[in-house]
Amino acid sequence: MSFNKKNVAKYSLTLALSCITYGIIIGFYGFAYSNFEPWMLITIFIIPFYAFIPYTVFAIPLQILLRKKVKKFSVKYLLIYIVVALIALFLFSLASDPTYVLTEVQHVNFYYLSFVAAAVYWFWDSVFIKNQEKI
């Protein structure tokens, strides 16, 4: 596997756009969910910073692994990203409050956050893939 400047730029761009997009989607969801409280719009700018760590720890290594067989907009890859997002969110929830994690897993927002995180990263990853180029 070679890491040249072009490939690192693609990983970085995928990471940055995924964090920003995730922040916008979840921020507006929180805004609507809170009965349109104006102060909730600030989360649009905060969430990308929180998304950076899980995306860096879980999504980039998975992206590198999946790029061995390059496929644009593969449903199989989306499902893999969803499973990894569920595991990542579970681990972060477990680390933050072990007593509350079982209650959190039963809530629909747990799955919504995981699906959105996976779908956003999968989308931006697929946008920057070139079929003729393997990393």
Distance CA 111, CA 122 (A): 16
Contact (CB, 8 A) for 55 and 19: yes
pLDDT of 131 strictly over 50: no
pLDDT by residue (tens digit) across 52-102? 999 999 999 999 898 888 788 999 999 999 999 999 999 998 998 888 888
Q: How many residues does the chain have?
A: 135
Q: What global pTM score does this model have?
A: 0.87
